[in-house]
Chain A
C-alpha cells in the first residue's frame, strides 16, 4: 500500500505549486491515474483524506480520472486497447505489443480553486 506515499508526494507538489502562484485555496484536485500505474484508485482516495489532515489541503476533494491502458500495435500501426491489463496484445490481430501509449499516468491535471 504505497498510496499514502503517493498522496504525500501529491500534497508536497500542490503545496509548492500553490506557493508559486501566491497561495491557492484548493477545493478539489483532479488527478489522471492510469490503470497500469500500480496505484489503486480506492486506496488512494482513502489515503488522501488521511494525508491531507493538518495540511493546507485538508477538506479538499480528490477527483480521479482513470486513464485506460492503450498499446501501440506494430502490425496494425495503430493505438489499441488490449483485451485486459494482463493480456498486452492487439484486440484485432492478436499481435503482442509492448509499447505503452497510455495507462501509466500518475499526474495532477488541475486544481479547482476558490475564485
Chain B
C-alpha cells in the first residue's frame, strides 16, 4: 500500500481558542473583569471565592460560574454572597472549555456585571490546555497540600497569572515551608505574583481585592478604548 503525506498544520484546540478569543473581546467590550480559578480538589477554591464575592459585592456587581463534575453544592454555597451564580455540571469532563462558558453566559447582561469569576473543575492538569477567555487566571495552592505542588504541575502554574496560597491559617500546623513554595512558584513561572490568604480569618484578602479593583479599572479603560 503506497501512502502520501498531506500537510495540515492545524491547532487541535483552534475552535476553543477562537471562541475564547471572542469571549475575551466580548468581556472587554462590556467592561467585565473576568477571573478564572484553577486548583486541585479541596484546596479551598469555593471558600476563597465565597470571600471574594462577599467582599467585592459591597461596592461592585459580581457573578460566578462554577464548574463541577456533579452536584450544585458549590453554587448553593456561593449564592449566599450573590444570586448571580450558575453551576456548570460537566458530567465526566474534567475541565471547562470556552463553549461551556459561552453557553452558561446565555441571557446574562455582562454590562451589568463588574466581576465575573469562573471556577474550574478541581484539577491541576486538564484545565491548563483550555483558554476560557478570562483576563486573569488564579491558580490556588493550599498550605496543607505541600510546597512542591508547583514543581509537580508546572503547566497549570505556568498558564496562570497569579498564585494564591490558601489556608494560611493552617500553615504552621501543616509545617508548610512558605519560602520553598514561593521559590517553586518562581521556578515554574518566573515573575508570578503570589498572595497568601486565609479565607477563614480573612487575612491577606485585602491585597487580592486591591488587585481586582486595579484590574477592573484597567478593564474599564480598555473598554473606553474599544468603544471609541
Contact = CB atoms under 8 A, between A and B. Distances in A.
Interface residues of B, number: 39
B12 interface: yes
A1 B93 CA distance: 9
A114 to B, nearest CB: 6
Please classify the interface of chain A as helix (H, G, I), strand (E, B), loop, or mixed, using the class held by over half of its residues: mixed
A57 interface: no
Given A86-B150, A114-B3, A115-B4, A106 B11 contact: yes
Interface string A37-61: 1110000000000000000000000
Interface of B is mostly: mixed
Given A1-B94, A2-B126, A113-B6, A86 B11 contact: no
A6 B95 CA distance: 12
B189 A88 contact: yes
A32 B190 CA distance: 26
Interface residues of A, number: 39
B140 to A, nearest CB: 17
A108 B8 contact: yes
Interface in B6-36: 6-16
B126 A107 contact: no
Contacts of A30: 5
A87 B8 contact: no
Contacts of A109: 7-9
Given A2-B125, A85-B154, A17 B190 contact: no
A3 to B, nearest CB: 9
A70 to B, nearest CB: 14
Interface in B184-205: 184, 186-191
Contacts of A112: 3-6
B187 A113 contact: no
Given A38-B128, A96-B191, A106-B129, A27 B3 contact: yes
A97 interface: yes
B1 interface: yes
A112 B6 CA distance: 6
B215 interface: no
B38 to A, nearest CB: 11
Interface of B: 1-16, 93-95, 97, 125-126, 128-129, 150-152, 154-156, 158-159, 184, 186-191
8 contacts: A6-B129, A9-B12, A13-B10, A13-B14, A38-B128, A108-B12, A111-B8, A113-B6
